[in-house]
Homo-oligomer: A and B are copies of this chain.
Amino acid sequence: MAVITNILKGDCLDRLTEVKDNSVDLIITSPPYADSRVKTYGGINPEKYVEWFLPRSQQFLRVLKPSGTFILNIKEKVVNGERSTYVLELILALRKQGWLWTEEFIWHKKNSYPGKWPNRFRDSWERLLQFNKTKSFFMNQEAVMVPMGDWAQTRLKNLSLIDLGRDESKVKSGFGKKVANWLSRSKAYPTNVLHMATETNNKNHSAVFPEALPEWFIKLFTKTGGWVLDPFLGSGTTTRVASRMGRNSIGIEILEEYYRAALRDVNRLDDKLVDNQVYEQITQVRHIYVR
């Protein structure tokens, strides 16, 4: 299987017009957060954020497969002592645009930014909003199962009476099947709270998006050979992870500096893969469009 990685430069509003309808399995992105300072990276005024976001999410809606998922990593900042409400308004607006607001995951940042303020504590969580086009989206829950706690080990040794009773209450033909199910379980399904540390990059830009984050959602919402899109790519975390996991990806970045970083990132990955003698997994990189 060839893995394609496209790094595009520009505003996703423009570049996404080159991408086919219903062609992407997962959109995962951390857009520029609204900021009262207009000068910073992609700084959009909180009051105009929804207005700015909607035409872009319209494109997301178009390119996403009906079975696809859109994961939006976002967190409102404190403005004048209050949490901004533009994220809440964005959720409501996206629903009006046709998205289903399926779930809100919490990213618990175990090593949150230090600091002390007189009237608030450190902010150590962000929203991971899940939107879908349809209720029948693809989800590979088994791919993200986690090892069970100690408790389960002991319980698995002896099936408790209550569990046997519950099994007996079911259809009797499936009894053995259920027990086998229990015994095979060394892993449990996760919850909607993700505990991941931010990656403290000493490099020039802030890489707040840890690799584990896109990795988890790519495992959950795509198959090998599927297509991943990050319309606000930054320095290339999503495309790097997608490529490593055997998924095709499109990353769009408007700032020259980050765009170049993402390109370098892909090249570096290629070199590494060559060294590891799995170069055949990647036949095409850069500037290869979906259509």
Contacts and interface: CB of A to CB of B under 8 A. Distances in A.
Interface of A: 81-83, 85, 88-89, 91-92, 95, 100-104, 106, 108, 112, 116, 118-125, 135, 137, 139, 141, 189-193
B103 A120 contact: yes
B88 A92 contact: yes
A101 to B, nearest CB: 5
B106 A82 contact: no
Contacts of A103: 83, 120
A192 B124 CA distance: 6
B104 A189 contact: no
Contacts of A193: 106, 108, 124-125
Contacts of A112: 191
Contact of A120 (B82, B88, B91, B102): B102
25 contacts: A81-B100, A82-B101, A83-B101, A83-B103, A85-B91, A85-B95, A88-B88, A88-B91, A88-B92, A102-B119, A103-B120, A106-B106, A106-B125, A106-B193, A118-B139, A119-B139, A120-B192, A121-B189, A121-B190, A122-B192, A123-B191, A123-B192, A124-B193, A125-B192, A125-B193
A116 B189 contact: yes
Given A82-B100, A101-B85, A193-B125, A119 B135 contact: yes
A9 to B, nearest CB: 35
A194 to B, nearest CB: 10
Nearest to A100: B82
Given A104-B83, A106-B106, A92 B89 contact: yes
A102 B81 contact: yes
Ranked 4 nearest A-B pairs via Cβ: A124-B191, A88-B88, A81-B135, A122-B191
The interface centre, meaning the residue of A89, A92, A190, A193 with most chain B CB atoms within 10 A of its CB, is A193
Nearest to A83: B101
B122 A189 contact: yes
Contacts of A190: 121
A28 B123 CA distance: 21
Contacts of A92: 85, 88-89
B91 A119 contact: no
Contacts of A88: 88, 91-92
A11 to B, nearest CB: 28
Nearest to A85: B92
Contacts of A106: 106, 108, 125, 193
A106 B104 CA distance: 12
A104 B120 CA distance: 10
Given A85-B91, A124-B191, 12 more contacts: A81-B100, A81-B102, A81-B135, A88-B88, A88-B91, A102-B120, A103-B120, A106-B125, A116-B141, A124-B193, A125-B191, A125-B193
